[in-house]
Chains A and B, each alone.
Chain A
Amino acid sequence: MMFPQLKIAALVSVGRNPASGAPRAARNDVLALDAALALAPEVSVLHAGDAAPALHDYLAYGAASVEVLPLPAGADALAPLAARVAGYDLILCGQRAEAGQGSGTLPYRLAKALNMPVVSAALEITLLGDIVEIVQFLPKGQRRVVRVSLPAVIALHPLAPRAPRYVYARLRAGRLLSAPALVAAPLPVSPWQSEPAVKKPQKLKPPETRQGHARLLGAIATESKGGALVREGSAAEKARAILDYLRTNRLIEF
């Protein structure tokens, strides 16, 4: 169902091909754009940063235009985005960026700045009047249904079952618009130093203080258990042993 009266924004970023490092449309943001277009015919597609050529891909995926909010390199995108989307009903974005820090905190910070609820790991989004119902991803084949009232920020899970289509003609027809930033972004003061990731990260381990014989004993005293063994009894008793095990560990509910 389409909701033309709603103001919906999709936030998009420049992604990064994991193999070649080439800039591209971020997969997760494409899903957010596609989900937004399924809800309303007109969606404001916003990007804070440079008017990178990779943004044209979003035109091919269905954005009529991409609005670029200028941002000094490395500056925080929160302030300009929050100022731009104030008053919107629904703000969709990908859960985690492919390039940059990719910390997955932007939706939460945006929601805080706009005083909206935020739901992440969204797979499906349905509008029910001024309530939005979200099917959330949980591991192991579980899905959770959550409702919040509009306005809200929703971050899409990378496994959202959507099939965005790339249409070259739309890429030719659409345009990147550069909008003036409403708020100046604060200059970057990053507490992080980044370096090329060449070495494998080190695992945190207790210091080894034991020597020789003690270490050998430690090595053979592995905490492996080798569980219970049921040899005797009829097949029915063995089957019951299995069910008892499952029940005591609350692995089945009957």
Chain B
Amino acid sequence: MNQERKRLDPRRPFVLSPAGLRRIILGATGGFDASLLAAPAYKPAPKPLRLKGDPAGYLLVAAHSQRGMLDAHAHQAIAAAALLASPQQAVVVLVFGSLNEDLRAYGADLVAVLPGADELGFAPEQELAWLCEFVTRYAPAHVFMPDNEIGDGDLGRRLAIHLGAEVATHVVELKPGAVAMYWQGGAALARGLMPLVVLIAPDVAETSLPFSGAGETVAPPAAQAPPGRYQNRGLREIAASALALEEADFIVAAGNGVADIPTLEAVAAAFGAAVGASRVAVDEGKFTRDKQIGATGKTVSASTYLAVGISGAVQHLQGIKACRHVIAINSDASAPITKRADLSVVGDAQEVMSALLAELAQRNLPDTARESV
């Protein structure tokens, strides 16, 4: 009976995944091939260009950047346009604010950047003039914008009303030529033909695409609006400690590896950050329940998340999915948080925190001149 058992060949052909793991090639047979081992790790082939030849038409996407980056919602708007465009239609992206990232992966073919017009400014008439110039220059079949609160929802509505065009807002479903959105506070779904201006809700499109955009830089619009009726009097920032965690932009979070809470709070104060905690730290009574981040706590969307002495259990990582930059301080180089973090520092939490405080004390202190509420 033993002779009957089918044996697996331990030297079946395989490739190395980017993580350095062996992945067998299903269905392939044959002996061990030394050339495969020597071959560099598996690299995905460069994605093909979506646009074929010279563009015969355009789709326009406009969005505000934050700190030189577009957010996931804006990426989805670009990807949606790329997925809906015909092979001859180019996707033009107009970015209000500076841009330090590559939008080709999301399917952007032509990119124009207006540095100095980011989400913190408020000049609706000037921005409308720029956007209208692009609408005239490219005569896009549709204009896609994320329906958000950092200025795109506002600008999109202004554009539609200015052009007297039909507009669909809070669009939750996109299909070629058609859109759907909720009415009656979510009880009804309204469908119709895709209008000129489409303001999309978050998560309507997949952003990992099988193709890439051309990513050419084009000249930004130069229109100059006459002095407007709106006067921007600047920003007011609320002290991070007074802010609900969900709204905070910088969070310093403590886990089981933090013994000295006052030091952690000092670090948070030095960065002007809000304080969060893992469940273990909360259960130990070091923090109140409203500080807990994770599956059974709060879901946060800070740009910066500094995780101190947190192992990075899935239940915790669930709560920080939307965080853009995760930095971990952990004594264990193989803790799961290092897979999620953009920068992991291996070391004792107490030592690194004290060093951080010393460094921060040396440099100029954060801008306290800012108006605070």
Contact = CB atoms under 8 A, between A and B. Distances in A.
Nearest to B66: A140
A129 interface: no
Given A21-B187, A239-B359, A142 B120 contact: yes
Given A138-B119, A139-B150, A191-B192, A250 B68 contact: yes
A212 B25 CA distance: 10
Nearest to B105: A223
Interface residues of A, number: 84
A203 B184 contact: no
Given A108-B161, A231-B333, A251-B325, A236 B358 contact: yes
A173 B342 CA distance: 62
Nearest to B193: A191
B192 A145 contact: no
Nearest to A159: B247
Given A149-B229, A204-B83, A221-B17, A226 B175 contact: no
Interface stretch (A37-45, A55-63, A79-87, A112-120): A112-120
B169 A209 contact: no
- Which interface residue of A145, A204, A226, A250 has the most chain B CB atoms within 10 A? A204
Interface stretch (B130-138, B281-289, B290-298, B349-357): B349-357
B245 to A, nearest CB: 10
B52 interface: no
Contact of A242 (B27, B160, B205, B345): B345
Interface string A118-161: 01110000000000010111111111111111000000000000
Contact of A227 (B229, B234, B301, B342): B342
Interface stretch (B108-116, B219-227, B361-369): B361-369
Contacts of B168: 103
A243 B359 contact: yes
B192 A192 contact: yes
A18 interface: yes
Contacts of B153: 104
Given A103-B167, A193-B190, A245 B346 contact: no
Interface stretch (A2-10, A93-101, A175-183): A93-101
B249 A197 contact: no
B346 A196 contact: no
Given A194-B183, A227-B344, A241-B345, A206 B233 contact: no
B100 to A, nearest CB: 8
A91 to B, nearest CB: 15
A18 B333 contact: no
A250 B206 contact: no
B87 interface: no
B190 A194 contact: yes
A195 B169 contact: no
Given A146-B231, A196-B188, A226 B161 contact: no
20 contacts: A119-B230, A137-B149, A141-B238, A141-B240, A141-B243, A145-B235, A148-B231, A194-B183, A196-B188, A197-B182, A201-B204, A203-B206, A204-B80, A204-B204, A220-B17, A227-B341, A230-B346, A236-B355, A253-B366, A253-B367
Given A206-B206, A223-B208, 16 more contacts: A100-B184, A139-B149, A140-B302, A142-B235, A142-B237, A143-B236, A145-B236, A146-B122, A203-B204, A217-B15, A217-B44, A228-B342, A239-B359, A243-B359, A254-B364, A254-B366
